[in-house]
Amino acid sequence: MIAEELDSLYRSNICVLSGPNLSREIARGLPASTVVASADAHLAERVQGMMNSPAFHVYTSDDVIGVELGGALKNIIALGAGMVDGLGYGNNAKAAYMAQGLTEIAGLGVALAANPITFLGLAGLGDLLATCASRLSRNHTLGEGLARGRSMEEVMASMGSVVDGVTTTAATLKLARELGMKMPITERIYRVLFEGLDPAQAMAELLGGQGV
C-alpha cells in the first residue's frame, strides 16, 4: 500500500520492520530484537545501522512479504490466545493453539510466496510468542475480555486504542477464501468478532474439546 501511494522514485527505499516489539517495553529501554526486510540487502543493512542500539538489536532479511505477514497475522492468533487465557484453559491448551496458529500463518505465507523459514524467526514465532503471552498486547486483551463475557466495544473503549487484529481477521479470511485456503483459526476468530460465536465454542472446536 505504501508503494502504491509513493512516487515511484522512492519505492525502492521501502523497508518493513517487525518482531517481538511490545512498545511499552521498548520505551522503558528493555532489551528487544527486531528484523528489517528489504529486497535490497544494502538498504536493509543501512537501516540496521541507523536503528541498532545496545537495547534494540536489528537483524536483516530479504523476505519482505514474510516479515509483513508475520507482523500482521500474529494479531489474529493473539486474539484467540487471549480467549484461551480468558477461559482459563491453561498453558497446554494455549501451546497447542499457538502451534496450530503458527502453521496457519506460515501456510498463507507460503501461498503468497513468502519464505517459510521467516515464520520461525523474529517476525514469525518471536512476535507470535510475545503477542500471545503478554497482557501488554491489545489483541490478547480483547480476546481475553470477549472470553469473559465483555463486548468488543466495551473492551476497546477501556483500552482507548484500535485493535488491529479485528480488521486483519476480516481481510485475511477474505484473502484465504479467494485463494481457496482453509484457515480454521481465522474463520472462528472472525465468527466470534462479527457473527456472535461464543469464544468457548470456538476454542472447543479448535482444540478438540480441551478445557470444555
Would you name the residues annotated as active-site residues?
74
Contact 38, 64 (CB under 8 A): yes
Question: Of 137, 7, 2, 153, which Cα lies nearest the Cα of 76?
Answer: 137
What cell numbers appear for 152 in the block?
468488543
Distance CA 165, CA 163 (A): 6
| CA distance to 31, 182, 184, per residue, from 105 (Å) | 26, 11, 11
Long-range contacts of 114-118 (CB under 8 A, 24+ apart): 114/63, 114/65, 114/66, 114/69, 115/63, 115/66, 116/66, 118/61, 118/63, 118/66, 118/67, 118/70
Q: For residue 73, give the nearest of 149, 15, 18 by alpha carbon.
A: 18
The widest CA-to-CA distance across the chain, in whole angstroms, is 56
CA atoms of 33 and 171, how far apart (whole Å):
28
Give the Cα separation of 19 and 48 in Å (integer).
Answer: 14
